[in-house]
Amino acid sequence: MKLHYRVYGQGKPLFILHGLFGSADNWNTLAKMYAKAFEVYVIDQRNHGLSPHNEQWSYQVMTEDLMEIVTERGLERVYIMGHSMGGKTAMFAACIYPNVFDKLIVADISPRHYPVHHDGILEALCELPLQQIQSRQEADAWLSGRIKEFGVRQFLLKSLHRLPDGGFGWRFNLPVIKKNIESVGVALPNTYQYPHPALFVKGEKSTYITLEDEWQIKQQFPFSTVNIISDAGHWLHAEQPDIFLAKTLSFLMNG
């Protein structure tokens, strides 16, 4: 699938992948900072952002989507970074194509299986009367009774857009995401192992990477380190962008 992406800067290519319900736009500010040293690709994964929607949705097909960009742009050695779902995509891509992706950064997710935990959000998004709301403010007010966290609502509403014939729609493919939500949590196969340097960055307040996960990470990513960002949760790159940038740039520049 031909994905939508933006390119900033020049140098060694760096792919950046957003998480579930997100888009490349979530990373634009940081991408421009990385672009001082790298050729940065901020990518809308399939069924998100401005990339096409498709019934097929798995980490294997999302990996092949990335390889289309590699081929299209004639890239040879690529650094790859992803957050949450994007981090899992990055793990799959790096393990399947280690000859292409020779440095890996994973933001706040591990290789293990995650049970479905977005039920409330999915239910609220599916019930939101998109054809009746008149503004983002009205959508936020409606969602506030079902999704209490203001930051989560604001993140989701970034993907709300006005349709030409009236009403609003989501840029992410909500029906396919709901149907296949269990696919987001699948584990990286135990047989997968990555032979290059990897950095896993964990938010101190997040439970996505546990001590037990760190043991599994070391088994499948033997040349990895786990770094913790203080006073940050799952959205560590948004909560502590300067620290996140410093830690990841140090790894990319120095190994």
pLDDT, one tens digit per residue, over 58-86 is 999 999 999 999 999 999 999 999 999 99
* pLDDT for 66: 98
Q: Which two tokens stand for residue 235?
A: 């959205």
- Candidates 3.30.930.10, 3.30.70.20, 3.40.50.1820, 3.90.850.10; CATH matching 5-114+187-254: 3.40.50.1820
Beta bridge partners of 226: 200
Q: Which residues have a catalytic role annotated?
A: 84, 234
Q: 101 in helix, strand or coil?
A: strand
Q: Where are the domains of the chain?
A: 5-114+187-254, 119-179
Q: Is the pLDDT of residue 255 over 80?
A: no
- State mean pLDDT over 100-104: 97
Residues in CB range of 57: below 8 A, 6 or more apart = 46, 47, 173, 176, 177, 180, 183
- State mean pLDDT over 240-245: 97
Condensed to tens digits (0 to 9), the pLDDT of residues 154-189 reads 999 999 999 887 789 999 999 999 999 999 999 999
* pLDDT for 132: 87
Phi, psi (degrees; rounded to nearest 5) at 172 = -85, 155
Whether the CB-CB separation of 90 and 123 falls below 8 Å is answered with: no
pTM: 0.96
Condensed to tens digits (0 to 9), the pLDDT of residues 191-222 reads 999 999 999 999 999 999 999 999 999 999 99
